[in-house]
C-alpha cells in the first residue's frame, strides 16, 4: 500500500522501531526488498537516488514499484527521493509520484540550507508529499553524495556532528517532517578503520531540542563480513572495510527517536558477492536468471535480517490501520487509485 512516511514515523517514534529505507536500482533489488518486507510483515521505504533515476530510467523504476504495490497490498510502501539537491529535482520527483522527498542542503552554509529546505517544504507540502532534510556532515562517498574524507571524518568526527541548538532553529524555520542527523555514521563500504561509536548523547540532545521530530540515519550499512569475505574469495579486492555495528543501529531505533535507517551498500555487497560466487563456481554459466536469481535471494535474506534488527517486523498491519484512521489521502499511481 502506497503512503507517505508519516503514518510509519508516527508509530515508529514512540514504538521503538525504525523503518528500513532501501535504495533500488533495478528489478531484482526491488523484488528482493519487497519480498523480505512481505515475509516479515514490515513497512519499507524504497529510495531512488539521482543516480538510479539516470541508470534505470524513472519510468521503468516507477512501474516496477507499482507492481510491488499491486502484488503486496498489505505492505506499507513509501517512495522516497534520496539526496535530492535541487528544487527542480524535487519537483520532478513529486511529478513522478514520489510520496516523500529529501532535500539535502547540508553542504551549504546554515542559512542557505534553511532557505533551500524551506522552499522544498512549501513545494512538497502543497502536493501532500513529506520532506526530509539534513543537518551536519557525514564522511565517505556514495554515488553523487561526496562527504568528508573518511580518514579526516573519523579523526575529527565530533566537530561534524549535528548541533542540537541549530537543529531546533532549523526545525522551527523549515517545517520539515524528518531530519537526517550526523551522529557518527559514514557513506559507502570503506567507512571506518576502527569500529565506530554512535554519538547517542548527541541524539538524546536533539530529541530534547526537537521533541517529536523523527530522526534519520544515513550511512548506516553494516558492511557484513560474510559478503566481503565472499567477494574477496572470488576475485574481489575489498580490504579494510568496516560499517556501523548492527547492535548500535538497533539501540538507536529502539531507545531513541531514529525512525528511518538508510541501507544501500549492504544491498550492493549481497548482490555482488552472490554473483561472484556463481561465476567462480560455475564458469560456464551465462543465463542471467541463474546468477541474478541467487543474488535476489541473497538480498531477501539480508533484508529480513535488517528488518528484525530494526524491530519493524510485524508492524505493517498497525501502520495501515493508523494510516486509515488518520485519513491520509489515497495516493495515485500514474493516475490509477491504489
Residue of 216, 305, 223 whose CA lies nearest to 264: 223
CB distance 234 to 276 below 8 Å: yes
Catalytic residue among 66, 82, 85, 229: 82
The predicted-structure confidence for 296-331, as pLDDT tens digits, reads as follows 999 999 999 999 999 999 999 999 999 999 876 655
The predicted-structure confidence for 237-274, as pLDDT tens digits, reads as follows 988 777 888 999 999 999 998 999 999 999 999 999 99
The predicted-structure confidence for 197-226, as pLDDT tens digits, reads as follows 788 999 999 999 999 999 999 887 888 999
Q: What is the CATH number of domain 6-331?
A: 3.20.20.70
pLDDT computed for residue 333 by the predictor: 43
Q: Per-residue pLDDT for 142 more than 80?
A: no
Longest CA–CA separation in the chain, Å: 60
CA 328 to chain centre: 22
Does the annotation mark 85 as catalytic?
Answer: no
* 260-to-122, 294, 297, 312 alpha-carbon distances in Å: 22, 28, 24, 10
| For range 20-29, the mean pLDDT | 98
The pLDDT confidence band at residue 291, using thresholds 50, 70 and 90, is very high
Q: Per-residue pLDDT for 335 more than 80?
A: no
Q: State in Å, rounded, how far the first CA of the chain is from the last one.
A: 7
Q: Per-residue pLDDT for 156 more than 70?
A: no
Distance in angstroms (rounded) separating the CA atoms of residues 36 and 193: 31
Residue 19 host element (H or E)? strand 19-23
* 110-to-30, 120, 180, 224, 258 alpha-carbon distances in Å: 35, 15, 15, 35, 22
Q: Which residues sit opposite 80 in a β-bridge?
A: 47, 100
The predicted-structure confidence for 59-115, as pLDDT tens digits, reads as follows 999 999 999 999 999 999 999 999 999 999 999 999 999 999 999 999 899 999 999
pLDDT computed for residue 141 by the predictor: 44
Amino acid at each position: 500500500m502506497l503512503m507517505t512516511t508519516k503514518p510509519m514515523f508516527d508509530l515508529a517514534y514512540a514504538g521503538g522501531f525504525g523503518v528500513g529505507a532501501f535504495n533500488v536500482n533495478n528489478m531484482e533489488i526491488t523484488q528482493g526488498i519487497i519480498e523480505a518486507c512481505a515475509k516479515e510483515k514490515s513497512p519499507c521505504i524504497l529510495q531512488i537516488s539521482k543516480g538510479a533515476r539516470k541508470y534505470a530510467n524513472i519510468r521503468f523504476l516507477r512501474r516496477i514499484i507499482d507492481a510491488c504495490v499491486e502484488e503486496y497490498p498489505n505492505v506499507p510502501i513509501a517512495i522516497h527521493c534520496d539526496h535530492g539537491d535541487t528544487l527542480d529535482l524535487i519537483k520532478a520527483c513529486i511529478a513522478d509520484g514520489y510520496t516523500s522527498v529529501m532535500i539535502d542542503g547540508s553542504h551549504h552554509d546554515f542559512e542557505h540550507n534553511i532557505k533551500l529546505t524551506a522552499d522544498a517544504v512549501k513545494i512538497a507540502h502543497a502536493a501532500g508529499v513529506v520532506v526530509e532534510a539534513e543537518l551536519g556532515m557525514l564522511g565517505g562517498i556514495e554515488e553523487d553524495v561526496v562527504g568528508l574524507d573518511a580518514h579526516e571524518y573519523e579523526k575529527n568526527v565530533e566537530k561534524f556532528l549535528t548541533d542540537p541548538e541549530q537543529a531546533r532553529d532549523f526545525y522551527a524555520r523549515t517545517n520539515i517532517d524528518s531530519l537526517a542527523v550526523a551522529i557518527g555514521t559514514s557513506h559507502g563500504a570503506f567507512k571506518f578503520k576502527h569500529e565506530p561509536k554512535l554519538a547517542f548523547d548527541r541524539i538524546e540532545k536533539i530529541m530534547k531540542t526537537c521533541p517529536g521530530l523523527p530522526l534519520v540515519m544515513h550511512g548506516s550499512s553494516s558492511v557484513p563480513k560474510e559478503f566481503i569475505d565472499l567477494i574477496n574469495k572470488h576475485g574481489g579486492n575489498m580490504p579494510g572495510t568496516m560499517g556501523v555495528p548492527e547492535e548500535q543501529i538497533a539501540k538507536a531505533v529502539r531507545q531513541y527517536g531514529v525512525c528511518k535507517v538508510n541501507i544501500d551498500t549492504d544491498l550492493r555487497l549481497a548482490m555482488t558477492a552472490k554473483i561472484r560466487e556463481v561465476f567462480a563456481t560455475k564458469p560456464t554459466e551465462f543465463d542471467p536468471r541463474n546468477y541474478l536469481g541467487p543474488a535476489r535471494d541473497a538480498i531477501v535474506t539480508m533484508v529480513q535480517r535488517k528488518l528484525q534488527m530494526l524491530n519493524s517486523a510485524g508492524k505493517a498491519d498497525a501502520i495501515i490501520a493508523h494510516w486509515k484512521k488518520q485519513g491520509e489521502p489515497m495516493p495515485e499511481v500514474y493516475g490509477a487509485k491504489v
